[in-house]
Chain A
Amino acid sequence: MLRFENVSKIYPGDFVALEDINLTIQQGEFVSIVGHSGAGKSTLLKLLYAEEQPTSGVVSFNERSLDSINRKHLPFYRRNVGTVFQDFKLLPQKTAYENVAYALEVTGETDEDIAQRVPEILELVGMGNKMGKYPRQLSGGEQQRVCMARALVHHPVVIIADEPTGNLDPNSTWEIVQLLLKINSLGTTILLATHNKVIVDKLNKRVIEIDDGKIVRDNEKGKYSSTTPKAEVNNKSV
């Protein structure tokens, strides 16, 4: 479904963020992407939601190259891709309900449709009882749930989660991972970029490790690191 063919991304100043990436991800997979800060994880994800274009190579979605999508039609492609970030990106002056509704408003859904879908999706992420709260009245974990609801509201084919638990305590972290697993079980592909060793090891799903812009490891049921885990594993490695 998602494919990278000989993809490189070089930023101005000859900074090589990604080099010759070849990668295929099937519908319904749950893939963790690990690597140091600056290794190229975020760039890889940005290429997928078309925030960046590759310098060379082809990124394709359902056998269609993203390059061939007209800029005018790019927004319609993006509706297939839900995104969740470490910093939530919620609008502070809007309630949880309004934040999710906003994603539907700007794509021109009708008011009736919005009134029906938003509570459903907030219910799904376990925020049905806090729809009227503003982001500042919610915990980090709760805010991230609202973000997940927003990402899901367009029924995307894939969810891209870039360090979604980076700002959360271990409990909330695990809740978010559970939620991702639940979404994945409903058929949505999940791409999770993370530094969290515990999560990756516990998931026991496909792991791709990126180092210095290259894929150095791609295990079907992998762990956070290729070497044997040490005893003093941290909950969170930043």
Chain B
Amino acid sequence: MGTRITKIKRTFKEGWDNFRRNGWLSFATVSVLAISLYIISSTMIIGVASNIVLKNVQDKINVSLYFNSDVPDDKIQEIKSKLIGYQEIKSIDFVSKEKALEQFKKLGNNNPSITQALDEIGDNPLLSALVIKAKSAEQYDIIVKAINGSSFAGDISRIDYEENKAAIGRLITIIKIVEQVGLTLGIVFVFIGVLITFNAIRLTMYAHKQEFEIMRLVGASNIYIRMPFIFEGIFYGLFSAFTVMLALLATSKFLAPITQGSISGGDIMDFYLSHFFVILLGLLISGVALGTISAAIAIRRYLKI
């Protein structure tokens, strides 16, 4: 047990020395790895954040069915109980014309001119409505079609839906494009990152040729000979992860004013801070994984034991 700890300590130190002494090579390696991690992590952050935005927008969407003024409330309630049976529908609210008027007045902040205008009309000009929320955004089309084809289609004065549709569709498309481009770029850079790290470790191996020969001759175990390179790979990964953490902080700070209020009422900076440890953990794991994989490839290819 004691010797195992001693060995880990020694190989760790050796790996750290390799990393440190490589100087510019380490710097370049960390940079390229960091770029790949940055692209991937920012893509993921954009993905998660824009899904939050999308969900907020979707929560605000609904379809309003305005009924002709001659349709009695009983009939509307009857239609409501029919509609509630649709599995696509999440909720239905009945807004009577009286309630609609109340809301309208409130919206107008009891503006005297509006109140006056309404008084002049005398009658309540607003229509009773059913406000429908679907379970997901794509289902509004189906719901609207079903209603148009139903027996009570004639009672409906108008359906308020179209205007939101285009905006949601655009948002979904943008999210998809961002995710695809980000992931493709990410994969390309991961590949380049692994290659560069692999090459850095290969150069270290070359520089330490004599040590290997001696280590083998005096009977150092295979794992002992390999460990410093695994540690070196891990260091590249760790340093890249921390670099990306800083880069993301800077990016979030830069983008904060633009994203004000759009992500759960906060901005991208709030998102970054509230997810700080998840992002850090994710980056550390992927950084270490990339470094270890690169080291393993280099060891397999160049380290004769």
Contacts and interface: CB of A to CB of B under 8 A. Distances in A.
Do A and B interact? yes
A71 B6 CA distance: 23
Interface in B1-24: 2-4, 6-7, 10
Contact of B222 (A49, A75, A102): A75
Contacts of B7: 108
Interface in A67-114: 71-72, 75-79, 83, 89, 91, 102-103, 105-111
Contact of A108 (B6, B225, B305): B6
A107 B213 CA distance: 14
Interface string A152-164: 0110000000000
Contacts of B215: 106
A105 B221 CA distance: 11
B219 A89 contact: no
B214 interface: yes
B217 A106 contact: no
B218 A150 contact: yes
Contacts, number: 61
Contacts of B225: 106
Contacts of A110: 2-3, 6
A83 B219 CA distance: 11
The interface centre, meaning the residue of A75, A76, A103, A153 with most chain B CB atoms within 10 A of its CB, is A75
B6 A89 contact: no
B211 interface: yes
B210 interface: yes
A71 to B, nearest CB: 7
Interface string B212-239: 0111111111101100000000000000
B10 A105 contact: yes
A77 B222 CA distance: 13
Interface of A: 49, 51, 71-72, 75-79, 83, 89, 91, 102-103, 105-111, 150, 153-154
Interface of B: 2-4, 6-7, 10, 210-211, 213-222, 224-225, 305
